[in-house]
Amino acid sequence: MIKFDAVTKIVHQSLKDPLPFLNLIDKHNSRNESFNFFEFFQVLSKKQHESLWTLLQELTQHCITRLQAAEDVDGACHDLELLLGMCLIIHSAITQDKPIIPSKLEECVQMLHDVVTALPDGVDFCVEEIIKICEMWWKCDLPNKDLLVPHMVLFLLINSVDQNSVLTDVKRLYSVKQCLLLLDFEDSSAISIKEFILLCFVHPLFLSTEEGKKFLSYCFGLQCSFIPVIHDTVKEQLLRASKVKLQAYGEVYFRAWKAASGVHLEVIEEKCIQDLMYVCVHAPRGTPSLFSAVRTLLSHFNQQRNTRGVSDTLCKLYRPFLWRSLKVANPMVRANATSLFLDSFPIQEFDMTREERDVSLQKQFDLMDELLIDSSVIVRCAAVSGVCHVVSGFWEVIPVSVIKSFLKRFIKDLSRDTAAINTRVATIQGLCVILENTLSHPIMKELLPLLSDHINDTAERVRIAFMDLLIKVKELKSIKFWDIASLNDLLRRMESDSPLVIKRIVALLFDSLQPKELGKQEKVDRCIDLIKTNPAAARRFYEQALKQLTVAEAGRFMLSINSYLLRIFAKKEDKQEKEREEEQEEEEEEISTVVLAGLIEVIVILWEGKIEELEKPSSKKVKSKLISEFTSSVPTLFNSFPEEPCRLATITLASYLPYKAVSRISGGFIAILESLQPGDDIHKYGSYLVAMVMWKQSDVVLKMIATWLESGFSKNDHTARETAPINDEQVEEDGVIHSKKGKGRVTKRGRKKKMATTKDEKVATNSSYHHMLHPTVALKLLDFLISNSKCLREIVQLSKFWYLKDILKESTIQLEHKVLGASPCSEEERHFLVTSFELMWRITLLQATEHTQLFCEAFEDYVVWSDRVLGSALGKVSSAQSSESEKKGKAGKKRTTKQKQNDSAQNVTIALDIARIVLNSLSEAVLSGSFPEELRIPLPRMLSIWLGTPCGSGLVKEACKLLYQLSEVAVLTFKDDRRPSMFTGTEPLVESILSIYRKSQTWTTPVPFSHIRPIMSAVIDRSIQFFYLVSDPSLNMVPTVKICLNSVLEQATNFIKLNPSLNWPSSVEDLSETCKNLLQLLLKKQGLEKFINGFLFSQVSKPKMNVDVTEQVLVNLAVVYITLSLLSRRVIRKRTVEEICQEVDVYIEGLSDEWIQRLDVSLSMTRDGLKLLNERTVVSF
């Protein structure tokens, strides 16, 4: 053990040479050395303590001085080590059982505390040790501990709110929370500490830990003036806070209230809790909802209402405004007040007498009954939900007559509220809450069957709520769900209802139809009963039920059904039965076809649903067992049950097996497909196609389709060669048409040179089925292959599939000839060509993911072709017809007037069909993200030309769809405002759609605004949203909104011309139908007024570069003035209008006399509009 003299000598020498002192610290830290400062201080006398700490104080002062003078950390490494050693020595000294604290020791600790903020950067480890000394000094209650508070608290607060803070940081802060009472929060030096305390209220670590919530509640008691600041900070977080955080805030407020007294208690109750109550009553409901957030926070007080004083406080704080809020005119306020009232039920003081309590409760019951029949839907919904929770929670204390009255109101009135779906939903959901109280079951058992008709309610949400009620009843022993809704009704709903309803019906019936405790045969028997009762419902049931079955369970059930089917086959083959039994079997056979087909379909459904899991290594045994069993049974089933439903289901089942395993039945499939006729339903033979594709036999099918398509196009081959027009971009040389652009060599048939096929392949193909070529059937087969996802995944990998697109290109040549050549066209031929054209586009779109480069080239070529052909066909139908008639008249082939009219109608029909296909394909390309960038600018121009033709009204629906896709993708894919957007250049398209709508109002059958309202509404929403994303100053207004407002201006100006006695329209109803619909659509947009106000200021701040720009500014201002002045019963800021008037006056005063003369009309319009706006704006706030 080192003696006292040696230690003092080392400390004294360390002023010049720190190494001996650092060696002494190392000995203390080493386990191999016997020296320890803690034991060293135990044997020292008070005098020795004072002598030693005098030297240590000098050493501390010396180290701090040198550290402050050091330029960087590297130059003061020994001094830092000395400070760390000093912290270790101090810790050993003050942690004694009865520590001796000399004045020099206090000075050392004070110096360390004061130097914390003066230390250079990069010495956080040293600061951490100093703060630990200060913490220990505080916890040990040593002299002058209040002098160590400022820097210690600030450091702990900074650590706690750091992004990487941990629970230990929060616990350290909480352990010294009382030191906050020593700070003067009124002093300017406490500003930083107050800011960090406020940060604690938004830090998730404080809200998720017990110590953190205790610390936050403790902060409410620091200073009365600081409580409102804390409250405002919490209020700012409510809309962004999760439910867990809101509940944590509620717990913090409750703890603060419970611990407070005197003035602090009054401030917390009036400035915090009552303020939250008031905000909750008057907060709007929406997403996110401030009302829901505050209600969640206040729910903690309602949960603690049995705590002494809580009930009295709630009664006192609600009294000034809650009861009158239940009677106000605003339904939103009534609904909010209703929710708070019922959440806090019963609202009464603790010291009431029994008679006073009874009177108070009866008044509240009467108030509940009034709220249940309120005229507002949201109030009724809030009342239903709250009353049901009250009835469930206070069943024992509520009089029976009151309960029956409420239940009667629920069952007979509110559950049948035809005026509001939400009320019916809330009622059924509320009954689920009541069922949570077991005392309600006897009376609910009698009442719930009265709701049986809700299973057929027209609203899906009501049916979903009713199914949730049945699932809730299923958990009860005293009530049976089939007493409320019959099995037949459930199966009928499962047959045709939405997936959400079917999912709940399956959950309700699963344990009854697929009980795990029953054997294999019993499950099959119940499956058979279900199929007999409702085959369609059986399919829906097993589509959903497979999600609740494991692969092994599904496999065992499929094998059980397979065994049952083989037994049926064995009975069918048994010729030893009696005649009576044979007759019974025949009767069974009549009804068993549906059952047998249903059983096979169940196998298919289960296999399809588990096909991905069967491919996993863990399911290898199950899959091998299934393949082994069904390889032997599928041929038997195929031959034994020849009825169409059974056979198609068996074929689908066979498609999951290897091709070699079913070779006995697969050989005739291609012959069946070859024998199809144009009138046959292709979907009945879809199983054959899917099976062929799954067996990797797609080549045969595609070769057959290719041959049939070529035969279809070859029918008009001679006509195409003789009469195909040569367009301006082609020249003819030696009987061959060449493209001027050099994009390939085109024969008069109009096709590029096709992919070569061998002579043997052509001979083999033609000799196989040349006598039964059905091009229409080929189109149906191809359409099925593309539409079926399973088939499409396989065929896109084959080159023969992409070769079909080259064949289908022939449709463009022949369609061009039909449309521009005005040649006659039969209905069958038109259908074939148009369908071929559509399939060509669909295949082209598939290339976007498989062959991107080829897709872009083909897509651009098709769009250019469509623009050239349709631009002429739609816009110059009459001239084209007359020209064609002249040519044919010279040839001696004149037609009658009726024939010309028929040909003209055919040409228009074909052109419109082509245009619709193109527009739908463009929409798909935009939606899938494969739209070529090169077409972004010319596309709207092209479409506006189409819509501007006499036939353009027939394309409004498709054009609106494309416009919506452009706007949707523009917002969803926005990343950089410097890149062109899908919105760019869409103004002509919007103008064309609105132009068609305006023109149609003078037709015998005008285009209803309902046809374009949903699309235009969505486009305007996306336009405004996109406007705020883009920071381009050149976009001073949303183009779509601007076009609509310009239309309003045009209509308003016409109104003035027709009514010279009036200055401006007095209401929206005074305008035309077009203007009224557009303006009403705009006025419903949230944030539109704010957007228009911002636009006004952007207009008047523009530089007056020339007369044209200034005139446009004045016109835009007039447009906005009209719109704002026609806002019916909408609040406009008077202050904003006054500011606009001032800005416009300044803008006009800066114009020269020459400009004012040229802008006389625009100035007059602007002034009159502004005057009217100022007169009509009477509300200010």
Retrieve residue 494's tokens. Answer: 């499962």
Map 817-831 to HEC letters: HHHHHCCCCCHHHHH
Give the pLDDT score at 305: 85
Give the pLDDT score at 55: 87
Give the E-state strand segments of 184-310 in sequence order: none
**pTM of the full structure:** 0.73
Total H helices, total E strands in the chain: 60, 3
Q: Which residues are registered as beta bridge partners of 732?
A: 737
CB 598 within 8 A of CB 606: no
Mean pLDDT of 391-400: 93
Closest CA to 96 of 173, 149, 39: 39
Residue 396 zone, left/alpha/beta (φ > 0; ψ -120 to 50; rest)? alpha
Sort 1018 into a burial class: Cβ within 10 Å, 0-12 / 13-18 / 19+.
Answer: middle
Tell me: the pLDDT tens digits for 735-752?
333 334 333 333 333 333
d(Cα 215, Cα 221) in Å, to the nearest integer?
10
Map 20-74 to HEC letters: HHHHHHHHHHCCCCCCCHHHHHHCCCHHHHHHHHHHHHHHHHHHHHHHHHCCCCH
CB 973 within 8 A of CB 930: no
pLDDT at 669 over 80: yes
Q: Mean pLDDT check: name the lowest of 658-662, 785-789, 924-928, 1068-1072.
A: 1068-1072
The answer to whether the bond into 288 is cis (omega within 30° of 0) is: yes
Sort 478 into a burial class: Cβ within 10 Å, 0-12 / 13-18 / 19+.
Answer: exposed
Note the Cα 191 to chain centre separation in Å. 42
d(Cα 170, Cα 1061) in Å, to the nearest integer?
75
Q: Residues 6 or more apart from 137 whose CB is under 8 A from it?
A: 94, 109, 145, 148
Buried b / exposed e along 960-984 (16+ C-beta atoms within 10 A): bbbbbbbbbbbbeebeeeeeebbbe
pLDDT at 1046 over 80: no
d(Cα 152, Cα 174) in Å, to the nearest integer?
13
d(Cα 540, Cα 417) in Å, to the nearest integer?
31
Tell me: the pLDDT tens digits for 1089-1126?
555 555 555 555 555 555 555 655 655 565 555 555 55
Closest CA to 730 of 752, 717, 753, 746: 746
Retrieve residue 1060's tokens. Answer: 């010279």
Q: What is the DSSP letter of 409?
A: I
Q: Mean pLDDT check: name the lowest of 83-97, 795-809, 861-875, 1147-1161.
A: 1147-1161
Q: Is the dihedral of CA 570, 576, 582, 584 positive or negative?
A: negative
Q: Of 706 and 744, which is predicted with more confidence?
A: 706
Retrieve residue 309's tokens. Answer: 């004083």
d(Cα 887, Cα 898) in Å, to the nearest integer?
18
Mean pLDDT of 223-250: 92
Q: What is the CA radius of gyration of the chain?
A: 43
Closest CA to 820 of 774, 763, 881: 881
Note the Cα 432 to chain centre separation in Å. 29
Closest CA to 973 of 941, 928, 1036, 939: 928
Give the pLDDT score at 1179: 35
Quick one: what percent of the chain has pLDDT higher than 70?
Answer: 72
Give the Å distances, CA to CA, from 1103 to 260, 1032, 1098, 1151: 61, 17, 10, 11
Which run of H or E residues covers position 739?
strand 736-739
The pairing of beta strand 730-733 with beta strand 736-739: antiparallel
Give the pLDDT score at 316: 92
d(Cα 1103, Cα 1119) in Å, to the nearest integer?
20
CB 253 within 8 A of CB 271: no
Give the pLDDT score at 435: 95
Average pLDDT, whole number, for the chain?
A: 78
Tell me: the pLDDT tens digits for 916-974?
888 888 888 877 777 776 666 677 777 777 777 777 777 777 877 777 777 777 666 66
Give the pLDDT score at 186: 83
Sort 280 into a burial class: Cβ within 10 Å, 0-12 / 13-18 / 19+.
Answer: buried
pLDDT at 611 over 80: yes
Mean pLDDT of 296-313: 91
Cβ atoms within 10 Å of 817's Cβ, excluding its own: 21
d(Cα 911, Cα 902) in Å, to the nearest integer?
14
Q: Which residue has the tokens 């999760």?
A: 242
